[in-house]
Chain A
Amino acid sequence: MANFYQDTPELRHHLNHPLMKRIVELKERDFRDKDEYDYAPADFSDAMDSYEKVLDVVGEIVGETIAPNAEEVDHEGPVCQNGRVTYAKGTQENLDTCRKAGLMGMAMPRRYGGLNFPIVPYIMAADIVSRGDAGFENLWGLQDCAETLYEFGNEDQKQRFITRVCNGETMSMDLTEPDAGSDLQSVMLKATYDEKEQCWRLNGVKRFITNGDSDIHLVLARSEEGTRDGRGLSMFIYDKRNGGVDVRRIENKMGIKGSPTCELVYKNAKAELCGERKLGLIKYVMALMNGARLGIAAQSVGLSQAAYNEALAYAQDRKQFGKAIVEFPAVSEMLSLMKAKLEASRSLLYQTARYVDIYKALDDIAKERKLTPEERKEQKTFAKLADAFTPLAKGIGSEFANQNAYDCIQIHGGSGFMKDYTCERIYRDSRITSIYEGTTQLQTVAAIRYVTNGSYLACIRDFEQQAVAPELEDLKGRVKDMADRYAAAVTKVTEAKNQEMHDLVARRLTEMAGYIIMCHLLLQDASKDPGLFNKSAQVFTRFAEAEVDKHSLFVFRLQEADLAYYRSGETKGTEE
């Protein structure tokens, strides 16, 4: 009886964080739902108990159904026929089970049929689902789109659509087009207003749309004729019941094969505007993306956990030279580092989720009443922290997932290269995490401003003020040294006032900041529960120290003249 929540005590540790008190207080508004809904909590401990119990259900479903189905789903995949997608049998079973368990619309308010869960337990469910089957997480996790409907839709739209999502209908976000990937400003799908029918009509093509045959679509389209940039784009809701969108093909992908990635053709499809015109990209998609990035960070952590579990089990089982290979330092060092990276990315994930929870709950309260000056300040602080931490959690978390998947195969040796072990699926599934919802390179673009404006450093200095267990003081001292080297590197780059140099070292500076923050989070975790986290705090700090040193050396040695070596396209061959 596998339970993916109960077998990972680190999850319970992250759920029971002191900030949860504030999060629940804001989310439940003095527990006012308790008389209206029989499943609403009456107090803080009741709410926390409910989160735990529901996560236990998630853990059981993933352990008993989703994970056992993963291999077959990976082989079978979805099919596209006559413009419609049919999921693999296992995928259908997974979705059906999640619906029956009431795990759709988890974060939505109760008045629309949701569970009103904060982001932390919702993201934890995503972490658990991803460990079982990362491809399925995409379908299940698209309930996130309801958040955008909730934030920007009108009351009528919320009543009509969010209730359906809570009842188990699936969603998709139709953004990418053949010529608009990372650069969404170039979206060309055309939206025109049909005066006769009093509705919008969509025409054009979307590509790489996850779960593109979903029930309810959020569509980014050009509503302002003659415009060419992001300011001409609006967000629309397309309801599959109205028809007008066909799936032309589904992509044959390397990983997450259970999740259909579709090319969509819009033929005069009836749609309705969500929110205001022209704010589609600049406001709504940006909000949607931040939520989606947190989801990918969770998916990455789940994959890291899966990779670590598979590698550990194999290393304990596989015997060479008369003993289990886990006993060889060459192997156990890899495993320790895998575990450390897993725990570091998980700590950062939940810290980010807490920040998101607080500012979003305050945003929601602000719709009902004016926030007090203290609340406004709190909202601003946490919104900024969430914006600063999200690209780190997604960027570094997804790179770690890939590194762990690589090491997982390495530990399996030749067997890992065969299709016989789970590790090869984890390896393929991980690969996309550092690409979609903004590549790691784009996460750097989002994060670098917090490097140069000193936000990360201020945050690191705050962490330095927090007490740690006495036996971790030395380690904390080493992390402080790392921060000094990071600060010096940032100063060197900003003082050089050279944009090209700045862009070139952006990834290194961001990684330094991210690793140092992760060290502090692990120090806090290890202070509270040394049994679970001490080893990872020790191993990760040593890893981070070496990485910070490496990046620091690179930054300090870099001369303006060196930049030429990194310019591509200028060094064409000289043969005539």
Chain B
Amino acid sequence: MSLKIVVLAKQVPDTRNVGKDAMKEDGTVNRAALPAIFNPEDLNALEQALRLKDRYPGSTVTLLTMGPARAAEVLREGLFRGADAGYLLTDRAFAGADTLATSYALATAIRKIKDYDLIIGGRQAIDGDTAQVGPQVAEKLGLTQITYAEEILDAADGRIRVKRRIDGGVEVVEGPLPIVVTVNGSAAPCRPRNAKLLMKYKRAMTPSERKENGVECPEGRPWLQIAEWSVADVEGDVQQCGLNGSPTKVKSIENIVFQAKESKTLGSSDEEIDGLMAELIANHTIG
């Protein structure tokens, strides 16, 4: 059985290596100072999709991302790893979206893709850490959802079995296709870029990128064209997109600097270490 898989991906500022200039004076993220990367858990999601493609011949993996023109980079990264196609949702009207407006836009685009068995995304993006977009997409499309997935065990005869991470262990759940699955960071890391695919797709671009760089899509190489969709292309309602469609407003942002006020000196005996461990577990610092 072949599957039609849509992978939701986001380009995010790399908040894992934050320097002094990571935040602007007004408390918003200084995107220019942080390298733009493929959201880590979306890479885990892509790997799950590619494994299904390896396992069920004839399956296809299509990437969908929303963002500015440069977010096409995420789609190329996906193509280099084995995805078959990518769509970039890009429009000024999409800008400033919170999770509600984002999931609206993605759901609208997925409706346009139409033919899908499985929608897989990362659990959350490292810039917002909300973990809301995947579940909201499922709600908007009226689909079942499985969150915190660690491994998709199989997807056959209209059912999917997923191992998901829960407090203190894992559980295996089953659901009907089509379905939305969000993947946890503890899932298998994504495979590397493949040399042949890298050489094949290195010049893949969106129409806007071609316009900006003044290059035509080479004749007879349709795979080098990355599709670009505006609000109108997906027949979206502008009022529900971007800033217009976002009820969430940031009230204020504070810069918190941790200051160690108390200190405790421990010896190296096993008893003292055990005592510390018990204390840390009791106050939920670990465990």
Contacts and interface: CB of A to CB of B under 8 A. Distances in A.
Interface stretch (B111-119, B123-131, B193-201, B251-259): B193-201
B194 A38 contact: no
Contacts of B218: 42
Contacts of B191: 97, 100-101
A97 B200 contact: no
B229 interface: no
Chain A contact patch, size range:
20 to 34
Nearest to A35: B220
A102 B221 contact: no
Interface in B188-226: 191-200, 202, 218, 220-221, 223
Interface stretch (A48-56, A281-289, A370-378, A548-556): A48-56
Contact of A49 (B196, B197, B202, B221): B202
B223 A38 contact: yes
B192 A57 contact: yes
Given A38-B221, A38-B223, A101 B202 contact: no
Contact of B193 (A35, A42, A101): A101
A365 B197 CA distance: 27
Contacts of A328: none
A39 interface: yes
Interface in A515-533: none
A280 B223 CA distance: 46
Contacts of B220: 35
Contacts of A54: 195, 198-199
Nearest to A113: B196
A40 B218 CA distance: 14
B202 A102 contact: no
A165 interface: no
Contacts of B192: 57, 60-61, 97, 100-101
Given A38-B221, A38-B223, A115 B195 contact: yes
B233 to A, nearest CB: 27
A53 B194 contact: no
A38 B199 CA distance: 8
A457 interface: no
Name the residue in B195, B197, B218, B223 with the highest tally of chain A Cβ atoms < 10 Å from its Cβ: B195
Given A38-B221, A38-B223, A102 B195 contact: yes
B270 to A, nearest CB: 24
A148 to B, nearest CB: 22
Nearest to B218: A42
Nearest to A41: B199
Interface string B126-163: 00000000000000000000000000000000000000
A230 B192 CA distance: 45
Contact of A50 (B194, B202, B223): B202
Contact of A53 (B198, B221, B223): B198
B138 to A, nearest CB: 30
Nearest to A100: B191
A50 B195 CA distance: 9
A298 to B, nearest CB: 18
A512 interface: no
Nearest to B17: A1
Contacts, number: 48
A57 B198 contact: yes
A40 B195 CA distance: 11
Interface string A39-79: 11110000001100110010011000000000000000000
A100 B195 CA distance: 9
B223 A103 contact: no
A379 to B, nearest CB: 28
A57 B193 contact: yes
A445 to B, nearest CB: 38
A217 B126 CA distance: 48
Name the residue in B196, B200, B202 with the highest tally of chain A Cβ atoms < 10 Å from its Cβ: B196
Interface in A97-135: 97, 100-103, 106, 115
A138 B210 CA distance: 43
A103 B221 contact: no
A97 B199 CA distance: 18
A208 to B, nearest CB: 32
Given A38-B221, A38-B223, A57 B195 contact: yes
A195 to B, nearest CB: 43
A40 B221 CA distance: 12
Nearest to B14: A1
A100 B221 CA distance: 24
A39 B193 contact: no
B202 A100 contact: no
A122 to B, nearest CB: 12
Nearest to B196: A39
B193 A50 contact: no
Contacts of B202: 49-50, 53
Contacts of A35: 220
A102 to B, nearest CB: 4
Contacts of A60: 192-193
Contacts of A50: 198-199, 202
Contacts of B197: 39, 102
Contacts of B223: 38
Contacts of B193: 57, 60, 101
Given A38-B221, A38-B223, A102 B200 contact: no
B221 A101 contact: no
Interface in B237-263: none
Contacts of B195: 39, 54, 57, 101-103, 106, 115
A166 to B, nearest CB: 10
Nearest to A54: B195
Contacts of A115: 195-196, 199
A310 B193 CA distance: 28
19 contacts: A38-B200, A39-B196, A39-B199, A39-B200, A50-B202, A54-B195, A54-B198, A57-B192, A61-B192, A97-B191, A97-B192, A100-B191, A101-B193, A101-B194, A101-B195, A102-B194, A102-B195, A115-B195, A115-B196
9 shortest interchain CB distances as A-B pairs: A39-B199, A102-B195, A101-B192, A39-B200, A39-B196, A100-B191, A38-B200, A102-B194, A50-B199
Interface of B: 191-200, 202, 218, 220-221, 223
Given A101-B194, A101-B195, A102-B195, 7 more contacts: A38-B200, A53-B198, A54-B199, A60-B193, A101-B193, A103-B195, A115-B199
Interface of A: 35, 38-42, 49-50, 53-54, 57, 60-61, 97, 100-103, 106, 115
